[in-house]
Amino acid sequence: MSIVARHRLPEETRGLWVVRTSLVSPRSIERVVQLASRYGYNALFVQVRGRGDAYYRSSYEPRAETLAGQPADFDPLGYLLQCADGVGLQIHAWLNVFYVWSQPRPPRSRQHVISRRPQWIARDRHERYQMTTAGKVEGVYLCPSNPNVQAHTLQVFAEVAQRYPQLDGLHLDYVRYPYEGYCYCAGCRARFRNAMAERVTAARRATLDRQAAGRNPLAWMEAFPEAWDEWRREQVSAFVQRFSRQSRQVNPNLILSAAVWHDALSAAHHKFQDWRRWLHSDWLDTVLPMAYDRDTAVVQRQAAQAMAQADGRPVIVGIGAWQISPDSAVNKIRAVRRHAARGFCLFSYDVVTQSGASETYLRQIEGEVNPKPFG
């Protein structure tokens, strides 16, 4: 590893997550940059891959449906980078990883990954998946262990890094399984079986293969529940490692980060999102644990825990501003600072500004976000 400081993470990141609904017109993008710089922020995490679609120029995924009313050459990310040039805002491309659809109807574009490759969709124990956020899962995920899914997703992300060299960072979200109930697709069953086959006796192998071919397709997973969990964790971690290597090759200055479940243990066990390992292995430069509770004492506790779990690596604490008052946001920013986190990030610009229509919230917390020296 080079001894040159690789990334340029500020002393304190004062960030806003910007949901893709604010990227649908040049005017709304101008407003994002204007408000963020006016009210003391220094970083934007801008959602440019929402649901297997693109708010940028992509060769691999369809343009987002919400951009249909805009001229074909309108490039939200490109335009945002242009607007943010020289105003002191870091721009991170926020990329949803395995989560690719959340509507009851199929995508309009036949180029969309779930239309082109339905066999890549993650399945539950009954081979089912769901299209919307109505149940326990947010919608359609792709199977994290499928090598084609990983290759496709890496190709998509490499293009973002290559095409937009002005970016300060790449920010992963939904880099995890939906929950323990996924993925039991045919590919996972075969891959896990192959990973385990060498570790058991020939007799055991024959028995499990017979069961799996007959009444219990999940025989291998059920026989080795701990190994099955570990294997799933490994799939996501392998993706993050590849993503890291690739991104640093394309642009060594990129800050690599992920939005994560706030408690590392729970993340690793229930979402197979082993972010502690990703930080300690230097695959990511920082994580943004989502400490979205309304109660400041809870947020303070979660921030302290995440900092301890990160073991000295930079942590930027995510605050659920959408569901708290400006006063409460101020208290949480103070709590985060008391724990010497590397900054905070509010979720989200869109909610607190009512999609750019109101400055009231940002104005009310401005004094805390960016305290100015006397005089």
The nearer residue to Zn ion, 218 or 304, going by C-beta atoms, is 218
Using the contact rule CB under 5 A, the part of the chain among 18-26, 176-184, 219-227, 265-273 near Zn ion is 176-184
CA distance 348 to 29: 15
The nearer residue to Zn ion, 18 or 185, going by C-beta atoms, is 185
Say which residues have a Cβ less than 8 Å from residue 42's Cβ, sequence separation at least 6: 10, 12, 13, 14, 15, 88, 89, 90
Side-chain-facing half-sphere of 89: CA atoms under 13 Å: 27
With binding defined as CB under 5 A, does residue 185 bind Zn ion? yes
CA distance 88 to 84: 7
State the minimum distance, in angstroms, from the CB of residue 139 to Zn ion.
16
The nearer residue to Zn ion, 143 or 161, going by C-beta atoms, is 143
State the minimum distance, in angstroms, from the CB of residue 100 to Zn ion.
14
Identify the residue among 183, 290, 330, 335 touching Zn ion (CB under 5 A): 183
Using the contact rule CB under 5 A, the part of the chain among 34-42, 185-193, 282-290, 355-363 near Zn ion is 185-193
In angstroms, the Cα distances linking 294 to 41, 131, 334 are 22, 29, 14
The nearer residue to Zn ion, 134 or 186, going by C-beta atoms, is 186
State the minimum distance, in angstroms, from the CB of residue 136 to Zn ion.
17
Query: Could you tell me how many residues of this chain bind Zn ion (CB under 5 A)?
Result: 4
> Which tokens sit at 156?
């998509």
Give the helix/strand (H/E) hosting 37: helix 26-38
With binding defined as CB under 5 A, does residue 137 bind Zn ion? no
Say which residues have a Cβ less than 8 Å from residue 172's Cβ, sequence separation at least 6: 95, 97, 240, 243, 256, 257, 258, 259
SS (H, E, C) 172-197: EECCCCCCCCCCCCHHHHHHHHHHHH
The nearer residue to Zn ion, 39 or 182, going by C-beta atoms, is 182
The nearer residue to Zn ion, 138 or 282, going by C-beta atoms, is 138
Q: Which of these, 215, 206, 211, 212, lies nearest to 189 by C-alpha position?
A: 212
With binding defined as CB under 5 A, does residue 143 bind Zn ion? yes
State the minimum distance, in angstroms, from the CB of residue 122 to Zn ion.
5
State the minimum distance, in angstroms, from the CB of residue 183 to Zn ion.
3
The nearer residue to Zn ion, 185 or 335, going by C-beta atoms, is 185
With binding defined as CB under 5 A, does residue 80 bind Zn ion? no
State the minimum distance, in angstroms, from the CB of residue 99 to Zn ion.
14
Q: Which of these, 175, 196, 301, lies nearest to 240 by C-alpha position?
A: 175
Q: Which of these, 286, 272, 290, lies nearest to 233 by C-alpha position?
A: 272
Residues that bind Zn ion (CB under 5 A): 143, 183, 185, 188
